[in-house]
Amino acid sequence: MPLKPSSLVLALALFASGMARAGDEDVKKRFESRFPGVTVTNVRPAPMPGLYELFVNGELLYADEGVNYVIQGTLIRAADRRNLTEERLEKLKGIPFAQLPLDLAIKIVKGDGSRKVAVFEDPDCPFCRRLEQDALAHVDNITMYVLLYPLEGLHPGATGKSARIWCSADRGKAWTDAVQGKANPTAAPTCKTPLEPLKKFAEARGIFATPTLVFEDGSRVAGAIPADDIEKRLSAARSQQRN
């Protein structure tokens, strides 16, 4: 039975969609074959015709269909000067809050604890100290989940300090004292720690810097952002949760 025009259009659209997805997979395979050991976690046609965007190790790259050329940089839409790379990265880097390993976190409750934020932190990271002292200290009514992520290459000894914090009787106090420079943890690092699984989790999601904050709506931001910015993001996340 011959297809009606509307059915034919729909069939062609579905066929084209299938071809596009197959093309995405081909680009992924070509990229991974040219860069052994590298995994592409997301690929799709880029806003600029002729290019594909590839999400690799927390970074957005661009390549032609044959992966003969790879571009590492920022894609700006000239008409309105929008940073398309930055906008796309913010979506790709999001982590659903329910997928975070919160059972491996140090839980600190302030006020009624009604708002939530998870933070990947290193006790010897100066930016973590700034975040804690200049921003989070002035934010109330939150439950903060500290995910210990010592960057040993940058801060030698941070791994041992993190282990002592985790093995402390009062982890919250030990963390706060350490990150604010009040006192070093003294507990023996003999207990089982979550440092290795947390490191694997972070690296698999392209988190390589501390502090990195993840809000309830899944949005994430790296750096010692100010208290006002944290308040705005907490409010936006709660509003989205209600909707």
Domain limits of the chain? 5-92, 97-242
Measured CA to CA, the distance from residue 198 to residue 122 in angstroms comes to 12
pLDDT tens digits along 137-181: 999 999 999 999 999 999 999 999 999 999 999 999 999 999 999
Q: Which amino acid is at 126?
A: P
Question: Could you give the C-alpha distances from 162 to 80, 115, 123, 147, 182, in angstroms and in order?
Answer: 46, 25, 7, 10, 15
Supply the CATH classification number for the domain 97-242: 3.40.30.10
pLDDT tens digits along 197-210: 999 999 888 899 99
Measured CA to CA, the distance from residue 67 to residue 13 in angstroms comes to 26
3-state secondary structure of 164: helix
Question: pTM of the entire structure?
Answer: 0.71
In the chain, the N- to C-terminal Cα span, in Å, equals 47
Question: What is the domain class of 5-92 according to CATH?
Answer: alpha beta
- The answer to whether 240 and 217 are in contact (CB under 8 A) is yes
